[in-house]
Chain A
Amino acid sequence: MSNGLARASIRFRPTAFAGAFVALLFASVVVAASALFLQSGVTLSAQPVRYADAAVVVAADDQVRRGEGDWETTLPLAQRPLVDAALADRLADVPGVAAVVPDVSATVTAGTATWSAAGWSRTALEPGATTVADAGPRTGQVVLAPAAAAAAVVGVGDRLELRTPGGTRSVTVAALRDAAGGPDVWVADADAAAVAGHPGRVDAFALRATEGTSAAQLRGAVRQALAGVPGPPTGLVVVTGDERGEVETAGFGASKETLTAIGGSLGGVLLTVALFVVVSTTSLAVEQRSRELALLRAIGATPRQLRRTVATEAALVAFLAAPLGLVPGLFLARWLLGEMTARGYLLPGLELSTGPVALLVTVLVVAGAAVAAGLLAARRPARIRPAEALREASLAGSRLGPARWVLGLTALAGSVPLAIVSATVPGELGMGLAATVVLTLLLAIGLLGPVVAGAVSRLARPVLDRFGAPGRLAAANGRTNARRLGSAITPLVMAVAFAGTMFLLQGSVDRATADQREAAVVADTVVSAGPAGLPVDLPAQVAALPGVGAAVGVLPASVATPALGELMPHTASGLTGDPALLSRALDVGVRDGDLAALRPGGDGTVALDVLLADALDARVGEPVELITPDGATIRPTVVARYDRGLGVAAALLPAETLRPHLTTPVLSELLVRHDGPVQPADLAALGTVTGPAAQVAGPGPDGAPASALTSDSWLDVVFAAGLAGFAAIAAANTLVMITLARRREVGLLGMVGATRRQVLRTARLEALVVAGAAIGLGSLIAWGTLLPSVHGATGAGPYVPPALAAGVLGGVVVLALVCTGVPTRVVLHGARAGAVGTRE
Chain B
Amino acid sequence: MRTWRRTRGDATTGDGGSATSDVVSLTGVSRTYGSGDSTVHALREVTVGMPRGSFTAVMGPSGSGKSTFLQAAAGLDRPTSGSVRIGGTELTGLSEDELTRLRRERIGFVFQSFNLLPSLTAAENVLLPLRLAGRPAGRRDAQAALDRVGLGAHGHRRPAELSGGQQQRVAIARALVSRPDVVFGDEPTGALDSGTAADVLGLLRGIVDAEGATVVMVTHDPLAASVADRVVFLADGALVADLAHPSVHEIADRMVALTGGTGALAVAGVQR
Asked whether A and B interact, the reply is: yes
- The answer to whether B158 has its CB under 8 Å from any CB of chain A is yes
Q: B118–A291 contact, CB under 8 A?
A: no
Cα distance A387–B91 when bound, in Å?
15
Chain A residue, CB-CB nearest to B163: A839
Using a CB-CB cutoff of 8 Å, which residues 125-139 of chain B contact chain A? 128-129, 131-134
Q: B71–A305 contact, CB under 8 A?
A: no
Q: A295–B119 contact, CB under 8 A?
A: no
Which of chain B's residues have a CB closer than 8 A to the CB of A304?
97
Using a CB-CB cutoff of 8 Å, which residues 1-30 of chain A contact chain B? 1, 4-5, 8-9, 11-13
Q: A300–B101 contact, CB under 8 A?
A: yes
Cα distance A790–B227 when bound, in Å?
77
Q: A302–B114 contact, CB under 8 A?
A: no
Q: B119–A13 contact, CB under 8 A?
A: yes
Which of chain B's residues have a CB closer than 8 A to the CB of A8?
117, 119-120, 124
- The answer to whether B109 has its CB under 8 Å from any CB of chain A is yes
Chain A residue, CB-CB nearest to B164: A838
Cα distance A386–B128 when bound, in Å?
16
Which of chain B's residues have a CB closer than 8 A to the CB of A302?
96-97, 100-101, 132
Pick from B76, B96, B132, B159: contact of A839, CB under 8 Å: B159
Q: A1–B160 contact, CB under 8 A?
A: no
Interface class of chain A by DSSP = helix
Which of chain A's residues have a CB closer than 8 A to the CB of B78?
385
- The answer to whether B103 has its CB under 8 Å from any CB of chain A is yes
B245 to chain A, nearest CB (A): 31
Q: A387–B101 contact, CB under 8 A?
A: no
A248 to chain B, nearest CB (A): 62
Q: A300–B129 contact, CB under 8 A?
A: yes
Pick from B118, B120, B129: contact of A840, CB under 8 Å: B118
Pick from B76, B103, B117, B158: contact of A292, CB under 8 Å: B117
Chain A residue, CB-CB nearest to B131: A1
Chain B residue, CB-CB nearest to A6: B119
Q: B119–A300 contact, CB under 8 A?
A: no
Q: B71–A299 contact, CB under 8 A?
A: no
Cα distance A670–B117 when bound, in Å?
77
Which of chain B's residues have a CB closer than 8 A to the CB of A838?
113-114, 164, 191
Which of chain A's residues have a CB closer than 8 A to the CB of B117?
5, 8-9, 292, 295-296
Chain A residue, CB-CB nearest to B68: A387
Q: B160–A839 contact, CB under 8 A?
A: yes
- The answer to whether A483 has its CB under 8 Å from any CB of chain B is no
Cα distance A302–B105 when bound, in Å?
12
Which of chain A's residues have a CB closer than 8 A to the CB of B134?
1
- Size of interface on B: residues with Cβ below 8 Å to A: 34
Pick from B109, B111, B118, B132: contact of A1, CB under 8 Å: B132
- The answer to whether A514 has its CB under 8 Å from any CB of chain B is no
**How big is chain A's contact interface, by range?**
20 to 34
A13 to chain B, nearest CB (A): 6
In the complex, per-residue mask of B89-123: 1 if CB is within 8 Å of any chain A CB, else 0 = 00000001100110111000101011101111000
Chain B residue, CB-CB nearest to A389: B76
Chain B residue, CB-CB nearest to A303: B96
Which of chain A's residues have a CB closer than 8 A to the CB of B104?
299-301
Q: B76–A385 contact, CB under 8 A?
A: yes
Using a CB-CB cutoff of 8 Å, which residues 813-840 of chain A contact chain B? 838-840
Cα distance A303–B109 when bound, in Å?
18
In the complex, per-residue mask of A184-218: 1 if CB is within 8 Å of any chain B CB, else 0 = 00000000000000000000000000000000000
Q: A300–B77 contact, CB under 8 A?
A: no
Chain A residue, CB-CB nearest to B117: A292
Among A5, A11, A303, A839: residue with most chain B CB under 10 A: A839
Q: A385–B77 contact, CB under 8 A?
A: yes
Q: B129–A387 contact, CB under 8 A?
A: no
Cα distance A839–B191 when bound, in Å?
11
Q: B97–A13 contact, CB under 8 A?
A: no
Which of chain B's residues have a CB closer than 8 A to the CB of A1?
131-132, 134
Q: A9–B101 contact, CB under 8 A?
A: no
- The answer to whether B174 has its CB under 8 Å from any CB of chain A is yes
A19 to chain B, nearest CB (A): 17
Q: A840–B103 contact, CB under 8 A?
A: no
Cα distance A385–B113 when bound, in Å?
19
Using a CB-CB cutoff of 8 Å, which residues 387-402 of chain A contact chain B? 387-388, 390
Chain B residue, CB-CB nearest to A7: B119
- The answer to whether A297 has its CB under 8 Å from any CB of chain B is yes
Q: B119–A299 contact, CB under 8 A?
A: no
Pick from B101, B114, B132, B159: contact of A291, CB under 8 Å: B114
Chain B residue, CB-CB nearest to A299: B129
Using a CB-CB cutoff of 8 Å, which residues 686-726 of chain A contact chain B? none
Cα distance A707–B71 when bound, in Å?
79
Chain B residue, CB-CB nearest to A4: B131
In the complex, per-residue mask of B131-163: 1 if CB is within 8 Å of any chain A CB, else 0 = 111100000000000000000000000111000
Which of chain A's residues have a CB closer than 8 A to the CB of B76?
298, 385-387, 390
Cα distance A390–B74 when bound, in Å?
14
Chain A residue, CB-CB nearest to B125: A299
Which of chain A's residues have a CB closer than 8 A to the CB of B111?
295, 298, 390
Cα distance A296–B97 when bound, in Å?
13
B193 to chain A, nearest CB (A): 12
Using a CB-CB cutoff of 8 Å, which residues 286-335 of chain A contact chain B? 291-292, 295-305
Q: B159–A387 contact, CB under 8 A?
A: no
Q: A297–B100 contact, CB under 8 A?
A: yes
A184 to chain B, nearest CB (A): 71
Pick from A291, A295, A388, A839: contact of B77, CB under 8 Å: A388
Q: B174–A299 contact, CB under 8 A?
A: yes
Pick from B113, B119, B131: contact of A9, CB under 8 Å: B119
Which of chain B's residues have a CB closer than 8 A to the CB of A12?
118-120, 158
Cα distance A604–B131 when bound, in Å?
82
Pick from B71, B118, B132: contact of A300, CB under 8 Å: B132
With contact pairs A1-B132, A13-B118 given, residues A299 and B191 touching in the complex (Cβ less than 8 Å): no
Using a CB-CB cutoff of 8 Å, which residues 170-220 of chain B contact chain A? 174, 191
Using a CB-CB cutoff of 8 Å, which residues 254-301 of chain A contact chain B? 291-292, 295-301
Which of chain B's residues have a CB closer than 8 A to the CB of A386?
76-77
Using a CB-CB cutoff of 8 Å, which residues 37-83 of chain B contact chain A? 71, 76-78
A selection of 23 A-B contacts at a CB cut-off of 8 Å is A1-B131, A5-B117, A5-B120, A8-B124, A292-B117, A292-B118, A297-B100, A299-B109, A300-B101, A300-B129, A300-B133, A301-B104, A302-B96, A303-B100, A305-B132, A385-B76, A385-B78, A387-B71, A388-B77, A390-B111, A838-B113, A839-B118, A839-B159
B contact set with A: CB distance below 8 Å: 71, 76-78, 96-97, 100-101, 103-105, 109, 111, 113-115, 117-120, 124, 128-129, 131-134, 158-160, 164, 167, 174, 191
- Known: A12-B118, A296-B132; 19 extra A-B contacts, CB below 8 A, are A1-B134, A5-B120, A8-B120, A291-B114, A292-B117, A295-B115, A295-B117, A297-B100, A299-B109, A300-B132, A300-B133, A302-B97, A385-B96, A387-B71, A387-B77, A390-B76, A838-B113, A839-B160, A840-B114
